Chains A and B, each alone.
Chain A
């Protein structure tokens, strides 16, 4: 009984993680410019892989595996915004343009 419950929870985590990865991939193809693509990839992609790591920890049912999976999850959650922010700042400083429908650019000095 408890094995079926753990298998159900693991399957749910796996499927939700894969769904987040698919949403991120669709967003990276559909969104119009670099900055919005970055927003899709760095948030939904990180949550997808992190949920799958948690599924590994739940499936193993081991304390050391749980600790390593949690360490990996927090590592990804901490580093994904840093790399995305660095990349966005580099692209903006080099003058890669925003999409025409963007309404606001807080990093730009010339319009405020």
Chain B
């Protein structure tokens, strides 16, 4: 068994496994009930595509693909940060028919507290809200 056959068979198997995980993650992007689910799945898709780029770099021998992978990782990181800011700015919007408030985390009192904490000193926020609740 030469080195080339080992490498090519491992590449085929890894390409199949990566394609399967890509499809599973795309399924979560389509199905995901809330916006953060979709953002997490898109972040995961960037990681899988970086894996694809690495496999193609091994297959073709062009190591310049590593630079493309690094820049794709940078773009994916910035996209995730921008999506997080967008989730903070947008609020919960019109979605969440199945994301009902659970007994563990009451969803309603969290949002106004955050708005107050931005205009006040950070240490004063929870104490005041607790006193107002009593």
Q: Are B66 and A53 within 8 A (Cβ)?
A: yes
A76 to B51, CA, bound (A): 12
A97/B105 contact (C-beta < 8 A), A7-B3, A21-B21, A56-B66 known: yes
Q: Are A18 and B13 within 8 A (Cβ)?
A: yes
Q: Are A28 and B104 within 8 A (Cβ)?
A: no
Q: Are A56 and B54 within 8 A (Cβ)?
A: yes
B78-134 contacts to A (CB < 8 Å)? 80-81, 83-85, 87-88, 91-92, 96, 99-111, 113-114, 126, 129-130, 133
Closest to B117 in A: A93
| 8 contacting pairs across A/B (C-beta < 8 A) | A15-B14, A17-B51, A25-B22, A45-B48, A55-B54, A86-B84, A94-B91, A97-B100
Binary interface profile of B, 67-84, with partner A (CB < 8 Å = 1, else 0)?
Answer: 101100110010011011
Q: Are A38 and B40 within 8 A (Cβ)?
A: yes
Q: Are A25 and B21 within 8 A (Cβ)?
A: yes
A62 to B99, CA, bound (A): 51
Select which of A4, A29, A68 is within 8 A of B67 by beta carbon.
A68
Q: Give the interface of B toward A (CB within 8 A).
A: 1-4, 6-7, 9-11, 13-14, 17-18, 20-22, 24-25, 27-28, 34, 36-37, 39-41, 43-44, 47-48, 50-51, 54-55, 57-58, 63, 65-67, 69-70, 73-74, 77, 80-81, 83-85, 87-88, 91-92, 96, 99-111, 113-114, 126, 129-130, 133
A108 to B69, CA, bound (A): 38
- In the complex, what residues of A have CB within 8 A of residue B55's CB? 14, 52
A87/B105 contact (C-beta < 8 A), A29-B28, A49-B50, A94-B91 known: no
- In the complex, what residues of A have CB within 8 A of residue B39's CB? 87
A93 to B70, CA, bound (A): 31
A2-23 contacts to B (CB < 8 Å)? 3-4, 6-8, 10-11, 14-15, 17-19, 21-22
Binary interface profile of A, 53-93, with partner B (CB < 8 Å = 1, else 0)?
Answer: 10111011010010011011001100110111011011111
Q: Are B81 and A29 within 8 A (Cβ)?
A: no
Smallest beta-carbon distance B13→chain A, Å: 6
Binary interface profile of A, 18-55, with partner B (CB < 8 Å = 1, else 0)?
Answer: 11011011101100001001100110011011001101
Q: Are B44 and A24 within 8 A (Cβ)?
A: yes
